[in-house]
Copies of this chain bind each other. A is one copy, B any other.
Amino acid sequence: MNPVNIGICGLGTVGQGTVDVLRRNCAEIAARAGCSIEISHIGARRGADIDGITVSTDIFAVAEDSHVHILVELIGGTTVAKELVLKAIANGKHVVTANKALIAEHGNEIFAAAAEQGVSVAFEAAVAGGIPIIKAIREGLAGNRIEWLAGIINGTGNFILSEMRDKGRDFDDVLKEAQALGYAEADPTFDVEGIDAAHKLVILASLAFGIPLQFDQAYTEGISKISTDDVEYAEQLGYRIKHLGVARQTDKGVELRVHPTLIPDQRLIANVNGVMNAVLVQGDAVGPTLYYGAGAGAEPTASAVVADIIDVARTLNVEPKHRVPYLAFQPNALNDRPIVDINDIETAYYLRMSAQDKPGVLSNVAQILSNAGISVEAITQKEAADGELQVPLIILTSRSVENQLVSAISEIEALDTIEGEVTRIRVESLG
C-alpha cells in the first residue's frame, strides 16, 4: 500500500512523544500496518525544526494540507481543538486525538460530522493513556452485555491516595509533592475534583452501554476531603480508598459517577498504586476483566495515538461500514437510557462520626439507620484519646439508596451525642 501521510498538531509532551515513537519504531510499525506511516506536516505555534518535515506555526495549515490523510490533534482544550478537528473532517481527513475533554463534551457533534464525511475519528489515547481500554471494550468484549465498569482513571489522584496510605501523609502535603513532581497542575481542581476522570468515564460508558456522550450528566466528587484517619480506618476494615469512576447499568438507567470509594483490599484493582491506571470491566459472558498500565506520560500516550494511526491507516479507503463504529455501536443503534440521579443510586457506605463516649449513643445511631431500612454490616468504636470525651465511630452499612442514607445522616447529625458532620464514603464490592 502507499505511504500514509499524517499531520501532527501540537508539539507538547504527547506530540513530541508521538514523533519519537513513530520515528524510532517506523520499521515495526510499517511491518504491522502494511504501509509506511510518514509525518508529512507538523503544526505547532512555537514552531519546530525537524528535518524533512513541513512545520507550520498556523495549525490550521495542517487541516488544509491536501497531502495529509490523517490529522493528529494533540493541542488539547476544547475551543480551537474542536474547530481544528471539524475543519479537518470537513476537508475529508481522518482524525486521531488524545483529547478526552473534546470527545466527552463535543464527541456527539464530531462523530456526526465525521459520519457525514465518511472519515474515521479515533481516540484511544483519550482514556487511561497507553492502556488499550477503548479497543478492549469496543471490540474485545463486543460479544458481551457489559454490566458495569470501574476505573482508576486519574493518575494524580491515585498517586495522592497511595502516598496517604503508604506513608500516613495528609492530602495537602502529598498534593504539593505531586505538583512539584509535575503530576498535578498548579490548579489541581481538574484532577482532584474528578472532572478529568469524569471526561474519561463518560467516554467509557458510551462505548460500554451504547449511549450518547453525556458529560453534563456525570456526578463528580473529589478526594480533597479524605483524611488520613479515613484511609487508616478503611485499611483496618479490609478496604482501600480509591478515586473511582463507576458506570453501571441498572433497572433505573445508567449510573455515571466519580467519587472516593472503599474497595475490598483483596481485589486486584485495590492494589493499583502510584500514578498507574486500571479499569475493571464486568461483561455478562466474560465476567470480570481488568486492564492496567500507565495512564499518562509522553510515550504511553503516544503508544495509544500510534495504535490509532495504524488502525485508521489500515482502513483509510474502505467503505465506512467496514470500520469499527466511533462509539462501539452503530450510530443509529445508540439507545437513550436515562442517567440515574446521584440521589437514586444504591451503594454501601462507610460512615465516620464523632460520638460521645457514653451508653445509648450507639443504639440511637443504629435505630435511625434501621428506621431508614439500612443495616449495619460492621461497626467499630475507637478508644477516646486522653482527655477527649468524643470517640470516632465507624460504620459500614448495607447497600442503600443514596437519598435515604442522606436523610438518615441528617437525623444522626441532629443528635446531641454526635458532634459535627458525619463523613460518608461510598463502598463498592466490585465482586
Interface set of A (CB-CB < 8 Å, partner B): 1, 17, 21-22, 24-25, 28-34, 124, 130-132, 135-136, 139-145, 210, 268, 271-272, 283-294, 297, 299-300, 302-307, 309-311, 314-315, 318-319, 321-325, 328-330, 333
Known: A1-B321, A299-B286, A325-B32. A311 touches B139 (CB 8 A): yes
Cα distance A140–B127 when bound, in Å?
Answer: 13
B292–A287 touching, CB < 8 Å? no
Cα distance A142–B29 when bound, in Å?
Answer: 7
Instruction: Give the contacting residue for A300; candidates B21, B124, B286, B300; CB below 8 A.
Output: B286
A303–B315 touching, CB < 8 Å? no
- Distance in Å: Cβ of A51 to nearest Cβ of chain B: 21
Instruction: Give the contacting residue for A285; candidates B130, B140, B271, B287; CB below 8 A.
Output: B130
Return chain B residues, CB-CB under 8 Å to A307: 139-143
Cα distance A24–B284 when bound, in Å?
Answer: 10
Q: Which one of A141, A285, A314, A322 has the greatest number of beta carbons of chain B within 10 Å?
A: A285
- Distance in Å: Cβ of A7 to nearest Cβ of chain B: 17
A294–B290 touching, CB < 8 Å? no
Return chain B residues, CB-CB under 8 Å to A25: 143-145, 284-285
If A135-B135, A292-B292 are given as contacts, then 12 extra A-B residue pairs at C-beta distance below 8 Å, sorted by A number, are A25-B145, A32-B333, A34-B321, A34-B330, A136-B140, A268-B268, A285-B299, A286-B293, A287-B297, A290-B291, A315-B318, A322-B322
Cα distance A19–B225 when bound, in Å?
Answer: 50
Return chain B residues, CB-CB under 8 Å to A302: 143, 285
- Distance in Å: Cβ of A239 to nearest Cβ of chain B: 16
Cα distance A329–B272 when bound, in Å?
Answer: 32
- Distance in Å: Cβ of A172 to nearest Cβ of chain B: 27
- Distance in Å: Cβ of A5 to nearest Cβ of chain B: 17
Return chain B residues, CB-CB under 8 Å to A1: 321
Return chain B residues, CB-CB under 8 Å to A322: 314-315, 318, 322
- Distance in Å: Cβ of A126 to nearest Cβ of chain B: 14
| Beta-carbon nearest neighbor of A143 in chain B | B306
Cα distance A316–B398 when bound, in Å?
Answer: 50
Return chain B residues, CB-CB under 8 Å to A306: 142-143, 285
B136–A31 touching, CB < 8 Å? no
Cα distance A1–B290 when bound, in Å?
Answer: 33
B210–A130 touching, CB < 8 Å? no
Cα distance A272–B286 when bound, in Å?
Answer: 17
Cα distance A168–B403 when bound, in Å?
Answer: 47
Cα distance A272–B269 when bound, in Å?
Answer: 11
B31–A143 touching, CB < 8 Å? no
Cα distance A130–B282 when bound, in Å?
Answer: 11
Cα distance A13–B24 when bound, in Å?
Answer: 45
Return chain B residues, CB-CB under 8 Å to A32: 142, 210, 325, 328-330, 333
Return chain B residues, CB-CB under 8 Å to A315: 318, 322
Known: A310-B139, A322-B314. A287 touches B268 (CB 8 A): no
- Distance in Å: Cβ of A282 to nearest Cβ of chain B: 10
Return chain B residues, CB-CB under 8 Å to A330: 31-32, 34
Instruction: Give the contacting residue for A286; candidates B287, B294, B321; CB below 8 A.
Output: B294
Q: Which one of A130, A288, A311 has the greatest number of beta carbons of chain B within 10 Å?
A: A130
